Amino acid sequence: MNIHSKYIIREAWLDDIKPGVGIGGRKINNLKYANDIILLAVSKEDMVELIKSGKNESERAVSNQT
């Protein structure tokens, strides 16, 4: 995973957002491997929330670099 992607996940709070899939008593909403990020949700609305959060933080990070 590259540094930019890791920053986006952390700043978008995807690791702490409630929507996700219950696995072993924990909510999991993203899987990260190399340069891939897979978002997990149980409903369309939850997926939209995850995508919007990541998109907003990504746009914020890009605008801060200029």
Its pTM stands at 0.68
The pLDDT tens digits of the residues spanning 7-43 come to 666 666 665 666 788 888 888 887 878 778 888 899 9
Q: CB of 39 within 8 A of CB of 50?
A: yes
Question: Could you give the number of structural domains in the chain?
Answer: 1
Q: Nearest to residue 37, comparing CAs of 50, 21, 27, 22?
A: 50
The pLDDT tens digits of the residues spanning 44-62 come to 998 998 888 888 888 887 7
Domain range enclosing 43: 3-65
